[in-house]
Each structure stands twice: as structure tokens, then as C-alpha cells.
Structure 1
Amino acid sequence: MSRIQQALESQLLRAHSPSAPPRLLAAMRHAVFPGGARIRPQLCLAVARACGDSAPALADSAAVAIELLHCASLVHDDMPAFDDADTRRGQPTVHRLYGEPLALLTGDALIVLAYQALAHGARQSPEHIDRLPGLLQLVCSGTGAPDGIVAGQAWECEPQVELAAYQRAKTGALFVASTCAGALAAGADPAGWRALGECLGEAYQVADDIRDVLMEADQLGKPAGQDATHHRPSAAADLGLGGAMDHFQALMTAAVDSVPEGPARRAMQALVLHEAARLIPPATSERIERERRHPTRVMHRPAVA
């Protein structure tokens, strides 16, 4: 985490200039710090280390780019056109603090800064410049059309959407970019790490659907009940909380099994298991299981018209 925070701080400092609008710089910093779990850059660097970490500056730049793109998507997702959220990570959203026009520009600026981070990493690792085109393609695939996070948000504007396709785009694509970019930055074949990103990405979204139903805003650090409010696809709505929990556990088991053989396999598997317990703590899992065996009430939030 210290490596990630330092790399993010360095990249944001590169955007500072006396000629830049001060409120834009402040809004960008507000969107990035303090961060959440930083699971995407953690995955990127963990895979890079598992593959030998032969180009640390390039791995750092890939991790930073992915996190900045994630932060940009949150800024846009929180705006009135989408969730109209008041809080994110326990603090006011960018548009609440700085206004809608600056929030839109902040998300745009973070997207550009992400690609500047990749360029900087390539300059720091000239002997590995041949890895840059592949990294760019991975990051673009995880972010844009047809199957990245932009497409995931766009599916919310369609009259019908398949839950799995929605989850793969909105959440899974950037997880795949994280694991594959970590491998490629270290000079390894990213194909062997794709399944880990796919399983974790879908599991993360399923967990988010469950938490959206069970937890309150002060626990989530953002508004709760958003899936029902905005009539979004949700594993909890489609499968029920018990079914969603079963699906989450199956995905995490598949994620553990998908870690490629190698000296770092056990450490990577431990990281996956730790993340599973963080996303759905044992107490929450037990609560869902008790309710499934002895139903006493319907554990869901009503849709808001």
C-alpha cells in the first residue's frame, strides 16, 4: 500500500503547476485521497512481484493508471446524471464539494493523467519500452468500449441488460486489466493471470450487490440501496441474498484455484482469501445463512420510485 500511495502522490504532483486552476487540482486530489482498499493496484503489483517485478517503474505506472481510471469512473458515477450520490469513501463527493462542471472536468483530467502515468513509467524503463503497447491495450480494454467500465456504465442506460455482461464490463474488466497488466509489466505472459482477474472482478461486484442491501451508508462510505433506487441489475435481486452469497463463494474459490503455479502461488492465494473476508466478513455470511435457514423477514431494501 505504501508503494501505491507513493506512486499516486508522485503522479498527482506531476500535474501541479502554477498555471493550473487551483480548484481543479484540489478536486483531483479529493477524488484520489484518501483512497479505498486500492484492490486494483494491489492486484497489479502483487502479480508483478509474483512474476519477478523486472520493471518496477512500469508496474507502478500501470497500477497508478488503473487506480486513476477507477477514481475517474467513481467521480462520474456519483454525478446527478447517474447516482447523484452525496458521499464516497466517507467524504462528500466531488460534485457536492466542487460543483457539477468541475466534477466532470476532474474525471476527465484523471483519465488523461492515467495515460500520462503510463508514459512516465515507460520513460523510466526504456529497456522495456516494448511492453508499453500491450499495457496500453489492456488498460484501454478495461476502460472503454466495447467491454470496459464505460460500457458497464452505459449498460445502465439500456432498457434491458444481462446481469453477467453488466458485471463483466462495469467491474470485471478493470480487474482483468489489473492482473494482466501486472504480469505484462514484469515481462510475463498475461494470459495465465486473466482468470484470476475475471473471477475476482465478478466476485467484487456480487459482494457490492450484497453489501448494498445489507449495510448502511455509514458502513459503506457511500449511499446504500442504490441498486434498487436506480433499478440496476443486481445479483442480490436476481439470486436472492443466499444465492448471491453462494455465487460469491464459488467465484472466490475459483479465483484461488486460478492462481498460476509458481513460488508466489501461496502468497497470492492468501491475498485472495484475505480479500474475500474483507468483502464479506464471516459475521455477514453467518447472518445470511441464518436467515436462509430460518427466514423471519425479507432482507432487502424496497425500490424507490
Structure 2
Amino acid sequence: MPFAERIEKALHDSLAPLNRKDAPPKLAAAIPYAVFPGGARIRPTILLAVATACGDDRPELSTAAAVALELIHCASLVHDDLPAFDDADLRRGKPTVHRAFSEPLAVLAGDSLIVLAFEVLAKAGHHAPDRALALTGALARHTGAPFGICAGQAWESEPKVDLLAYHRAKTAALFVAATQMGALAAGQEAEPWTELGDRIGAAFQVADDLKDALLTSDQIGKPAGQDAAHLRPNAVQAMGVEGAVAHMKDILAGAIASIPSCPGEAMLAGLVTAYARKMTVLPEAAR
């Protein structure tokens, strides 16, 4: 089954319990609203690609890991959009969860998605308990503090921001989780896959900074100009447009070289190359 179909089916299966008659109707509607329709599902795709490249001998576990990672990502978007943070009205081309369902329900939906992510891993743990335990630890590390996405959001409350640490925590953390968890699900060591995830995540963040500065809300499916509006640190502010573009290309150039030796190395290189092409499609002014 192609990665996209595998991810979507597993995500739908993970939310099936919300159909219970005794579930709060509004929360039961807000949770899938935050997950579907999804974006590019880049993080779970990378996770499954790494697992496949390493043999993927426990596909039920790697699928659960991919779902858990995507649920964490979706939860982070719900929370990021809240009035306390970005106060965004639009996400993936539709009203944000707090606009569609209310702020309290958005908080609860995001919290529920985080809990569900770990429940999905727990349910799949019997396929390989040691691997499932390692996957749980990896996902937790890259979600919380001091280096996960929670830490990334927290950097925006600091008077002085370390741009590299900010980007590594806010965006690269879940990409590192993707590469490490893909390896762990296949019974491999996580550490050799850290650099690949870090590079993909860093490039993705720079691309996001460029799109925020150069594209419209209609083009990106969410509010544009948010970095400037909220005085957030970003690559365009630090390096200028040309410098940010050059930096992104440098990061991507090293990503393929960082892929560890594995049976599916060529497939992974092709995937990273495809993502690189998408990320570098920017307005003429940015080239």
C-alpha cells in the first residue's frame, strides 16, 4: 500500500472510537476537523520511508508510529493557532479549530490528540515491546521540553532568541522524530538518522519563513506575514531573502549526503530530492 493511503487509513482508524454515542459531540467533531483533510503528511511519510529503507519488518508498529507523529503535529497546529499564540483564523484553507468550534474546544482537541498519539503507540506495542518503548521515548523528547516543539513555541516568549535553537525545536524536532522513529520501528539505531531529520526540518523552516514573507494567505492556506506581525525571529529577517534562499539550498544539499547506508538509500535520496524541489519553488522575487 502506498505511504499516503497507509497513513490516511490508519489515521481514520485511530479516530474511529470518537463515533461512540457517549462521546461529547462537539469535541468528537473538533478532533477529526483538526486532522482531515491533512496537509502533505510529510513527517509520517518520511518516517515510513526510513522504516522501509531499513527493512520495515514490523509494519504495524511503523504505521502506528507514523500516525502518532502526525497526531502530535496536528495537535501542535491547533495550539499554535490559538489566540494565546498566533491568533490565526485560517489553517489548511479553512477556519482554525478555535474559530470553528470555540477556544475551549480547541484546547481540548489539541490535548486529546496528544494523548491519542501515545495511546496509538501503546496499542501497537505488543508487536515489538522494546521498539515501542523506544518510539514512545523518542516522540516524547521531540514533543516536550527542553528540545521539542513545546520548547520551540516557548522561545517566542524569550527577550533574546537563539535562532538556530528556535528553529531546531519548533520545526526540526518533529522531522528528527520522523527519521529516528522510522529507524527505531525497523529495529535500527536512532542516532545515525538525526542529521537527516535535522537538515530536512531546518530547510522546511527556512522555506516556511520565505513563504510567510513572500506569499499571500490564499497561496499558503494560512495567514501570511505572521513573523513580521508578531515580531518573531525568522530566517528572512536574519539573512534577507537572498541569504535565506541560499541557506536553504545549502541545507538541502547536505541532506542527501547525510542519509546513512541502508538497503533503501536510493529511494530515500529520491524522496528528499522531491521535497527539495517543492521547497525551492518560490516567487520569482526570491530566486
TM-score range, shorter chain: over 0.9
Residue matched to 2:99: 96
| Structure 1: distance between partners of 2:185 and 2:193 | 13
Runs of 4+ in 1 over 6 A off after TM superposition: none
Deviation at 1:190, TM superposition (A): 1.5
Residue matched to 1:57: 60
2:6 is equivalent to residue 3 of structure 1: yes
Deviation at 1:254, TM superposition (A): 1.0
Residue matched to 1:32: 35
| Structure 2: distance between partners of 1:129 and 1:16 | 29
Gaps of 5+ in 2: none
Deviation at 1:263, TM superposition (A): 2.9
| Structure 1: distance between partners of 2:172 and 2:286 | 24
Deviation at 1:222, TM superposition (A): 0.1
Q: Deviations over 1:187-231 (max 9, x none)?
A: 011122111001001111010000001110011000000000001
Deviation at 1:265, TM superposition (A): 1.2
Residue matched to 2:286: 288
Residue matched to 2:174: 174
| Structure 2: distance between partners of 1:207 and 1:276 | 10
Residue matched to 2:131: 131
Q: Deviations over 1:204-263 (max 9, x none)?
A: 101000000111001100000000000101001100010000110011111111111233
| Structure 1: distance between partners of 2:121 and 2:239 | 40
| Structure 2: distance between partners of 1:33 and 1:288 | 31
Pairing of 1:273-284 with structure 2 (within 5 A): 273-281=273-281, 284=283
Between the two proteins, the alignment pairs up a number of residues equal to 284
Q: Deviations over 1:19-49 (max 9, x none)?
A: 1101101100000000001000001000000
Instruction: Indicate if the aligned counterparts of 1:60 and 1:121 stay in contact, CA closer than 8 A.
Output: no
Instruction: Indicate if the aligned counterparts of 1:152 and 1:167 stay in contact, CA closer than 8 A.
Output: yes
Residue matched to 1:84: 87
Instruction: Indicate if the aligned counterparts of 2:125 and 2:133 stay in contact, CA closer than 8 A.
Output: no
Deviation at 1:159, TM superposition (A): 1.1
2:250 is equivalent to residue 247 of structure 1: no
TM-score (norm 1): 0.91
Residue matched to 1:221: 221
Deviation at 1:287, TM superposition (A): 3.4
Deviation at 1:16, TM superposition (A): 3.3
Residue matched to 1:299: none
Pairing of 1:255-274 with structure 2 (within 5 A): 255-274=255-274
Residue matched to 2:152: 152
Instruction: Indicate if the aligned counterparts of 1:62 and 1:118 stay in contact, CA closer than 8 A.
Output: yes
Instruction: Indicate if the aligned counterparts of 1:45 and 1:182 stay in contact, CA closer than 8 A.
Output: yes
Secondary structure of 1:156's counterpart equals helix
Q: Deviations over 1:278-303 (max 9, x none)?
A: 1221x53x5323xxxxxxxxxxxxxx
Higher mean C-alpha deviation, range 8-17 or range 251-260 = 8-17
Q: Which amino acid aligns with 2:57?
A: S
Secondary structure of 1:161's counterpart equals coil
Residue matched to 1:194: 194
Secondary structure of 1:232's counterpart equals coil
Deviation at 1:57, TM superposition (A): 0.9
Residue matched to 1:300: none
2:210 is equivalent to residue 210 of structure 1: yes
| Structure 1: distance between partners of 2:286 and 2:109 | 39
Gaps of 5+ in 1: 290-305
Deviation at 1:15, TM superposition (A): 3.8
Instruction: Indicate if the aligned counterparts of 2:176 and 2:197 stay in contact, CA closer than 8 A.
Output: yes
Structure having the higher Rg: 1
Deviation at 1:163, TM superposition (A): 0.5
Q: Deviations over 1:112-170 (max 9, x none)?
A: 010011011113x1xx1111221111001110011100010011111111100100000
TM-score (norm 2): 0.97
Q: CA RMSD in A?
A: 1.0
Residue matched to 1:293: none
| Structure 1: distance between partners of 2:273 and 2:215 | 21
Residue matched to 1:120: 123
Deviation at 1:264, TM superposition (A): 1.4
